[in-house]
Amino acid sequence: MKLSHRLSAINSLVDESYDVIWDCCCDHGLLGMTLLKREVAHKVVFVDIVPELMDALSNTLGRFADSNANSQWQVQCKDVSSIELTADAKQLIIIAGVGGELLLRLMQKIIENHDQQTLNQLSFIICPVHHTYALRKGLAQLGQGLKSEQIIIENKRFYELLHVSFKSNIPIEPTGCSMWDFTDKHHQQYVKTLIAHYTRMTKKEPTYYEQVIADYKQLNLVKTNRAV
C-alpha cells in the first residue's frame, strides 16, 4: 500500500540513521515497514495497544522480513507510555494519529521513565490530530526544542508535523513559527479555522481561550507585516 501524504511527510523527515526507531500508534505499520525497507535504523519497533492490529501486523512483517533479510523488527502490544528505551542508543519515537492531549501524556510518561543520558540521544517526530496549542506549550515545559515544523494538508484537514528533541535550543512557540507562510491561501485558511475553533471554546474557559485567540491573531499580524 502507498503511504498517505502525512506518512510520506513523516518518512521524509527521517533523514539520518538511528539505532532504534519506535513507530508508535502504528496502525497497519506502513510507515515502519517503509523505514525498514530504507534501512535507516538497526531496528524498528512497532507499538500499539490494540491486540488484533498487532497480531495482523506480526503476520505481515513475517512475510515482509523474508524478502528483506537485513530487517530487524519487533512488535510490542502495549501502552506507548510504557515503552523501555534502549540505553546508550540513538533513538527516534514517532507518534501520529492521536490527539495532542494524549500525545503529551505519552511523552511525559516516557520522559519520566528514563534517565537524562538516554533522553539526550532521543528525538520525537509527532503529528497530532488536534489540540496543538496546548501540546506545544507542554512540549516546551518538558524541555523539548524544535528541530523542524510544517503544516500538512490531507483530505481537506490540517495537521502540524513537529520534529523535537532535548538537544535543540530552538524554542517551541505555542502557535508555531517557521511553519507559517501567509502568502499561501491554505495557511491563511488554517489560522482562520483555528481562531474560529477557539472562539467557540471561549464558552468553556473564557480567559484561557481568549489568550489563545489573541496569540493566533498576533501571529497572523506579525507574519503578514513581515511579508509586506
- Asked if 193 and 158 count as a contact pair (C-beta separation under 8 A), the reply is yes
Tally the domains of the chain. Answer: 2
How many degrees, rounded to 5, is the angle at CA 138 between CA 137 and CA 141?
Answer: 95
Say yes or no: 154 and 215 in one domain.
no
Nearest CA to 110 out of 127, 129, 91 is that of 91
Residues 28 and 139 in one domain: yes
DSSP-assigned letter for residue 17? -
Closest CA to 76 of 22, 130, 5, 3: 22
Measure the CA–CA gap between 216 and 56, rounded to whole angstroms. 43
Residue 172: domain span: 5-179
Whichever domain contains 13, its CATH number is 3.40.50.150
Q: How many CB atoms lie within 10 A of CB 173?
A: 18
Are 160 and 184 in the same domain? no
Residue 116 sits in the same domain as residue 192: no
| Helix, strand, or coil (residue 63) | helix
Q: 198 and 172, same structural domain?
A: no
pLDDT of residue 2: 85
Rounded CA-CA distance 56/68 in Å is: 18
Amino acid at the residue 144: Q
Q: Which residues of the chain have pLDDT under 50?
A: 228
- Write down the pLDDT at residue 222: 60
Say whether both 46 and 147 belong to one domain: yes
Angle between helices 132-141 and 100-112 (to 10 degrees): 20
* Same-domain status, 96 and 26: yes
Residues 94 and 198 in one domain: no
**What pTM was computed for the model?**
0.93
Q: Which three cell numbers stand for residue 34?
A: 517503509
CA atoms within 13 A of residue 91's CA, in its CB half-sphere = 22
User: Are 171 and 191 members of one domain?
Assistant: no
Q: Is the dihedral of CA 202, 199, 102, 117 positive or negative?
A: negative
Q: Is residue 172 domain-shared with residue 188, that is, in the same domain?
A: no
For residues 206 and 105, membership in a common domain is answered with no
Give every CB contact of residue 133 below 8 A, 6+ residues apart in sequence.
Answer: 100, 174, 175, 194, 198, 212, 215
44 and 153 co-located in one domain: yes
Give the total residue count for the chain. 228
Bridge partners of residue 149, in order along the sequence: 162
